[in-house]
Amino acid sequence: MDKKLKDLGISQKQFERIVQSKKLKKPKILKRYISDKIIKLGVVSDTHICSIHEKLDELHTFYDICQKVGVDAFLHAGDIVAGWGIYHGQENEVHTYGAMAQSKYVIDNYPKVKGLKTYFITGNHCESWWRKSGVDIGDLISAGREDMDYLGMYDADLFLSGIRIRLHHGDGGGA
């Protein structure tokens, strides 16, 4: 295991934080059920960028690991930004204010992997800007980053190598 971690460029502690467990299960390969093609995807959600609780360093580490293992694309299943006015007291937990500023922060700081795209949807945190000011922050981010394709609010279907992938972001619940 140490050699694999060294090859990925991460420590044991970083690895444990990423997987939240020392016991790893062998991934299920669904190719026999849906296709004869294998697609490797890096999937994230609820990054809440612009929150004081964001974990950009861990997000960049995740993207680096995915690149090293040969992913074909990245998916982000909503709430890419913290938004505004989602819950009582949130104004004390946001470090970048306004839809334009939050989208610019994402454009400048979200991980990039040359030759790979991030396909993303938005969720209720992102939608806060739509409700407050009529701004779809997904459009702003996608316009500023050629590697980030915005698919819509809450739900989207994406076809990769002939395989349909549905992205959905729930609303109204706790973590």
Domains of the chain with bracketed CATH? 38-168 (3.60.21.10)
Residue 81 sits at φ, ψ, to 5 deg, of: -115, 165
Of all residues in the chain, the percent with pLDDT exceeding 70 is: 83
Residues pairing with 74 in the sheet: 42, 118
CB 167 within 8 A of CB 123: no
At 32-62, the pLDDT tens digits run: 455 567 789 999 999 999 999 999 999 999 9
Query: pTM score, two decimals?
Result: 0.79
- Token pair in block for residue 115: 């030759």
> What is residue 42's three-state secondary structure?
strand
How many Å apart are CA 146 and CA 82, to the nearest integer?
22
pLDDT band at 173 (very low <50, low <70, confident <90, very high): low
Q: Are 83 and 138 in contact (CB under 8 A)?
A: no
Tell me the pLDDT tens digit for each residue of 115-168.
999 999 998 888 888 888 888 999 999 999 999 999 999 888 888 877 788 888
In DSSP notation, 44-86 reads E----BTBTT--HHHHHHHHHHHHHHT-SEEEEES--B--SSS
